[in-house]
Amino acid sequence: MKPINVGLIGIGTVGGGTWTVLKRNADEIARRAGRPIVITAVADKNLELARQITKGAARVTDDAFSLVNDPEIDIIVELIGGYGVAREVVMQAIANGKHVVTANKALLAVHGSEIFSAAQERGVMVAFEAAVAGGIPVIKALREGLSANRIEWAAGIINGTTNFILSEMRDKGLSFDDVLKEAQRLGYAEADPTFDIEGVDAAHKATLIASIAFGIPVQFDKAYIEGITRLEASDIKYAEQLGYRIKLLGITKRREKGIELRVHPTLIPAKRLLANVEGAMNAVVVKGDAVGTTLYYGKGAGAEPTASAVIADIVDVTRLANADAAHRVPHLAFQPDAMSNLPILPMSEIETGYYLRLRVEDKPGVLADVTRILADQGISIDAMLQREPEEGEGETDIIILTHVCQESCADAAIARIEGLSAQKGKVKRIRLEELQ
């Protein structure tokens, strides 16, 4: 049977992995796809690298649009990242009637609605398994494997850099800054790690998970994003003493009035499987009404793990390339005319538990004042820890875990606590999820 021709745009880490795995497993992949899959052309600004990897087995160019406009190419694989050229490439490929496979979570989180709409209109597929959690097939699980379920919530460790940093801070008691330098030395963190450590990368992925889980439009601009830069080693230590671990989670939940979509450091009970995902690994937990809780775990980045997802998408597109567009799996799991208009809830309306660390004067009556303020806001205390002050030290830490309450109530209580004369500085607040 005639091979399906692929144009690969970007042959860096993931692109190189895609070339290598596709070459190595060509026969096995062809048996699954029903026809050979061949990368016939590669576009990359680094021509020397591209030629070194392809060894003359594909046409090499620095002009991405020459691939997009080539009538012999059936599928465009976009692995250059970013919002600029990548968006132009993808939109032009769709306009030319080509299917697209991408690992670009940022592009889809910001411009997904436009891209999916254009693809639907043109009758082509945009596949993006590699955009979320690298080699873990969580998109396929949500979109197909769990299609009988009403998804209740999903929560995931979906950024390996931050998970490595938090694991090292917990294991070694080091500061955030020290561990970040180590992560950069080992290649887990970029020279500019902002997207990772500030939670933006995880929010891109959580946005896509929310859209597929609940059938809502892609709305990255509505996500709440908080990174790990302000976490202190003392908070990780206190959490451990209380039976919890801190992870940067992407969380999305269905509520009666809308959808929660948030990324922030989160206390998780140490006995939960998610709490024991260490190093640069990723994991996503999904709760469906019929299946219950399911866990997807594996490598969330890297050349060959991500290539695994890219090639799986190429295989899917190959199988369905000639199928009636109306009978393919929808991009966001739900039929385009059946998408929900449930809004993304503001943070003031989300409901969760809280870890509160107070630095207070060590004197009688302080704790009574704090508990009264919490009670006035309808917030009940689940657990408490008070550090014994050192001899001659006039201040101490009080750590409070609350039961679930609305964020607006927690905001009001924290503002009043910070107004107490005995409170020194800001209250440290970290959200808490039991994930039951």
* Active centre residues (catalytic): 205
Please state whether 243 falls in left (phi above 0), alpha (psi between -120 and 50) or beta.
left
**Amino acid making up residue 169:** M
Name residues whose C-beta falls within 8 Å of residue 223's C-beta, 6 or more positions apart in sequence. Answer: 203, 206, 207, 261, 262, 263, 344
Three-state SS string over the chain comes to CCCEEEEEECCCHHHHHHHHHHHHCHHHHHHHHCCCEEEEEEECCCHHHHHHHHCCCCEEECCHHHHHCCCCCCEEEECCCCCCHHHHHHHHHHHCCCEEEECCHHHHHHHHHHHHHHHHHHCCCEECHHHCCCCCCHHHHHHHHCCCCCEEEEEEECCHHHHHHHHHHHHHCCCHHHHHHHHHHHCCCCCCCHHHHCCHHHHHHHHHHHHHHHCCCCCHHHCEECCCCCCCHHHHHHHHHCCEEEEEEEEEEEECCEEEEEEEEEEEECCCCHHHCCCCEEEEEEEECCCEEEEEEEECCCHHHHHHHHHHHHHHHHHHCCCCHHHCCCCCCCCHHHCCCCCECCHHHCEEEEEEEEEEECCCCHHHHHHHHHHHCCCCEEEEEECCCCCCCCEEEEEEEECCEEHHHHHHHHHHHHCCCCECCCCEEEEECCCC
CB neighbour class for 22 (10 Å; exposed up to 12, middle 13-18, buried from 19): buried
Angle between helices 13-24 and 303-320 (to 10 degrees): 60
Report d(CA 17, CA 9) in Å as an integer.
13
- Dihedral sign for Cα atoms in the order 201, 202, 205, 210: negative
- Please, which residues bridge with residue 401 across strands? 355, 383
